[in-house]
Structure 1
């Protein structure tokens, strides 16, 4: 092989090796950047979730980030940029919470109750309770729907189905319904529970679907069955007395705070 041909081949091999090395470095940088970005997004979702659970304003995210960066400067300055990459602006927190809310449509468990306000407008309150693969239970408020006409089982089912369709519920994954003990809710032939079960089972292949009383109504029914009016009347009168006047309420709050402080003193190790 001529010398100049060999030299050209060696030069090409060196160039190829150089390009491969540069490519691997770029791939490593991109891979590392993607890992950092994924971690920052995950942290953003976790913090937004805590803000939502605490019912704090979306702007709290910026407050949290400010002091998170201050802590990073002292504790781990080499990680300062990683913390800075976590987006917690007002709009970002709102988007994160919205995404998390949309993700709660699996393994649904519904709770509904109908009450009437002082203007005589019936309000249907709808909650969704979801259970994930780790058996973690999450409950979210869906909608408060006014019912201006009759409140028959058919009316309530129409409003309920419409509200759940608006949030994109997967009917095949609903497993149970919790209601109060009103006849329109619990009727065997035309109650809300019966009609709702028919709709769900039409979507899930006739799998089992359960209906329950709300726990508060269960307690009320148990009280009536056990004839514990002597206890409940005292409780009701006490609550009404506390809530009847602002002074009573403030004094009751002061009493509770004093009791908490006393208990804290007794339980503090010496």
Structure 2
């Protein structure tokens, strides 16, 4: 209290009472103003975080946030022109912190929070599996993509665990060192690892110096099952190594490159097919690394074959094969079979795929080869071949059924020789899909590998589960629903085994799709994007998590404190 307050305002006097009321009212007003100012600042901060999140989810540059603010302001002047509080609205929008550097920090905070949530869930999970693949970005930096799948509550979560730049070489030991460093940095344990899925590169699959081989030698890493990506294997099978059809493909690629790789040729060809009003507006270039490329290139080429021949004649560059009846039937057959293989490939793609369903798709295709394709002399299952021979019956004289049967038999043999690692555990996959129609004794190899000390208990609980008829109806609601009802209290050894198997990746589809996202983010206009920001943006663009507003605001407050 001020020393002269009692003199100026004697205790018990009316003047003192009025002065105290005046001071109290003034204090309340100041407090309301401070609270209102604080609340406004918090709302502006929250709004800027939400805008940053939406931009990152949309794979947009940091600087687009400034455009968003400009759009807000321009729209507000029109939308709220007749509102009494238009000036207040515009003032709020102008207060939004949306510079590119601010948005960058917001996205860094969001990415860290999402990563922390994921690592906490992985640490708490009883088991997890990883899918690992490597690719180079726009600036030729090797990026190691790792996805993780683990049980969470009553379902399974698939998330990008990390996107790690590999400096220098990309040997198995380099990949392992990057993984070990990440796990140490995030305090993650390897003890719950159930399986690892990779592509077929020696740096991944090598028994001695590949990632899988080196991981199996590490003491801190438990026994795990490794898989060669089932889609990569299908893609290898679909290359059709038959010499005749390799020559057909080489001719197609040579002609396509002549037309597309030269700007003048490409423009003139597009004008030609526009004049002819064709089904397709252009050819496609072949890419070995794209799973569906071969079939799409051949389908376009066959559809535009007359126009291609006309164009080459005009250019004085005739290709005799394109007018050879035998070659045309081979092209049509190759187009049909690659289209069938593309259909199979699409069935194998996607997230949250059960291994049993993927194996069933493979087996179904093998059965189609022997039961439908090989005996088909009327081309019912080869629509392109049927179309060209119907339009020009003389082509049938040049059709060699035996030659095509040889190709199909070779293809069937390739399917038989592949997928051994996945087929080795097909019984346990079938058990997961339907536990009531599997002989428990056939599951011994997988049980021994995943639960070496609990085999007797697991097998006993499996038989016990098969006797519960009331559970059978629950399968109609889905495999995930069924196993969510099987409690760990009633099946203490079986439930952990099931969780391990259901966490398996048998394809690296998630990694491949992430590389597509990565290349969209780090494009020519953003080639200077740092590895840290690339990982952060890719994580936000692919995650199913939502950031915690309270935590990111705390990070923001800590950053501001460190600046003062």
Report the TM-score, using the length of structure 2 for normalisation. 0.32
Q: Give matches, 1:102-181, under 5 Å.
A: 102-106=112-116, 107-108=118-119, 111-114=131-134, 124-127=142-145, 139=160, 142-148=163-169, 151-152=171-172, 154-162=173-181, 164=182, 168-172=185-189, 178-181=197-200
Question: Which residue is 1:88 aligned to?
Answer: 98
Question: Which residue is 1:220 aligned to?
Answer: 232
Instruction: Tell me, yes or no, if the aligned pair for 2:132 and 2:147 is still in contact at 8 Å.
Output: no
Instruction: Tell me, yes or no, if the aligned pair for 1:113 and 1:179 is still in contact at 8 Å.
Output: yes
Question: Which residue is 1:101 aligned to?
Answer: 111
Instruction: Tell me, yes or no, if the aligned pair for 1:112 and 1:124 is still in contact at 8 Å.
Output: no
Instruction: Tell me, yes or no, if the aligned pair for 1:124 and 1:144 is still in contact at 8 Å.
Output: yes
Indicate the SS of the match to 2:114: coil
Alpha-carbon separation, structure 1, partners of 2:256 and 2:62: 32
Matched, 1:32 2:36: yes
Q: Tell me, which stretches of 5 or more residues in structure 2 are unaligned?
A: 1-8, 81-85, 120-128, 271-278, 284-564
* Residue number among 51, 54, 59 corresponding to 1:50 in the alignment: 54
Offset at 1:192?
3.5
Show CA shifts across 1:241-264 (max 9, x none): 7984346988599459xxxxxxxx
Instruction: Tell me, yes or no, if the aligned pair for 1:113 and 1:126 is still in contact at 8 Å.
Output: yes
Indicate the SS of the match to 1:113: strand
Alpha-carbon separation, structure 1, partners of 2:76 and 2:39: 19
Offset at 1:94?
1.7
> Structure 1 residues 90-99 or 190-199, which shifts more?
190-199
Instruction: Tell me, yes or no, if the aligned pair for 1:179 and 1:211 is still in contact at 8 Å.
Output: no
Distance 1:36 1:115, change over 3 A: closer
More strand per residue: 1 or 2? 1
Offset at 1:38?
1.5
**CA RMSD, 1 decimal:** 5.0
Aligned length: 233
Alpha-carbon separation, structure 2, partners of 1:175 and 1:242: 53
Indicate the SS of the match to 2:115: coil
Distance 1:243 1:20, change over 3 A: farther
Report the TM-score, using the length of structure 1 for normalisation. 0.60
Q: Which of structures 1 and 2 has the bigger CA Rg?
A: 2
Offset at 1:68?
0.7
Instruction: Tell me, yes or no, if the aligned pair for 1:110 and 1:127 is still in contact at 8 Å.
Output: no
Question: Which residue is 1:71 aligned to?
Answer: 75
Indicate the SS of the match to 1:126: strand
Offset at 1:52?
3.0
Distance 1:90 1:228, change over 3 A: closer
> Structure 1 residues 176-185 or 97-106, which shifts more?
176-185
Distance 1:124 1:90, change over 3 A: closer
Structure of higher RCO (CA pairs closer than 8 Å, 6+ residues apart): 2
Alpha-carbon separation, structure 2, partners of 1:40 and 1:158: 43
Instruction: Tell me, yes or no, if the aligned pair for 2:49 and 2:106 is still in contact at 8 Å.
Output: yes
Alpha-carbon separation, structure 2, partners of 1:40 and 1:212: 49
Indicate the SS of the match to 1:104: helix
Show CA shifts across 1:71-104 (max 9, x none): 1222242421221111111211221222222223
Instruction: Tell me, yes or no, if the aligned pair for 2:63 and 2:99 is still in contact at 8 Å.
Output: yes
Alpha-carbon separation, structure 1, partners of 2:186 and 2:135: 24
Alpha-carbon separation, structure 2, partners of 1:155 and 1:179: 15
